[in-house]
Amino acid sequence: MSNMVKPETIQVMEERHSVKVYEKGYIIPQEDMETILSAANAAPSAWNLQHWKFLVIDDEAKKQELLPIAYNQSQISDSSFVVAVLGDLEANRNAAPVYDSLVEAGAMTQEIRDTLVNQINGAYQSPDVARDSANRNASYAAMNLMLAAKALGYDTCPMGGFDAAAFMEHFNVPARYIPTLLISVGKAAKPAYASGRFSLEEAVIKNSF
């Protein structure tokens, strides 16, 4: 691999950095927005429950309302749009429709469907399982979103710094969902600086500590 050109996907991963200064007023075409969101929606998820919802905030007035909730971070107001990635605390409710379609298509037996749905509902009796699964699986979608944006020539910044309770109240988020993070999307007005990374020798442990 050292003498070969890196695959485009890996180049996108290496080139993506968090951008906090955007071209204010830049409008991303609807088609590109949908491509980015479709890539996010294609992320893997446990049991294929798809533990996410994407609340897209592109209205200028709504971004201004979000600004103080996100501690006045300028990327909220200056980016083209912001996506709140919501994790589903009741993703077990998705099991039946997901597996019913497989049964109808002949890809799964009714017996296996019933076994899986029962297993999932049993696991979701634990609030910890529900919350951990919501956060974990929504993060897969979030990373897909950021990489898709970069592949199309846009930039992003994931933000965990916001008042989650105020966000839920102000934007009428049902209690079923938790806001895992906000992601600004837009055109960089100023290049991001490349943050350093620990070497593989420091980051990788093989087989056991």
Domain ranges of the chain: 8-203
* 8-203: in CATH 3.40.50.300: no
Dihedral (Cα; 176, 181, 187, 190), 10-degree rounding = 170
Q: What is the mean pLDDT of residues 165-172?
A: 98
Weakest mean pLDDT among 3-17, 60-74, 167-181:
3-17
Residues 15-73 pLDDT 10s: 999 999 999 999 999 999 999 999 999 999 999 999 999 999 999 999 999 999 999 99
Residue 188 DSSP code? B
Confidence of residue 3 (pLDDT cuts 50, 70, 90): low
Confidence of residue 2 (pLDDT cuts 50, 70, 90): low
Going by C-beta distance under 8 Å and a sequence separation of 6 or more, which residues neighbour residue 188? 19, 21, 22, 23, 155
For 15, half-sphere exposure in the C-beta direction (CA atoms, 13 angstrom radius) is 17
Question: Distances from the Cα of 75 to the Cαs of 16, 63, 158, 179, in angstroms?
Answer: 16, 10, 10, 18
Q: Tell me the β-bridge partners of 56.
A: 83
Give the pLDDT of residue 5.
81
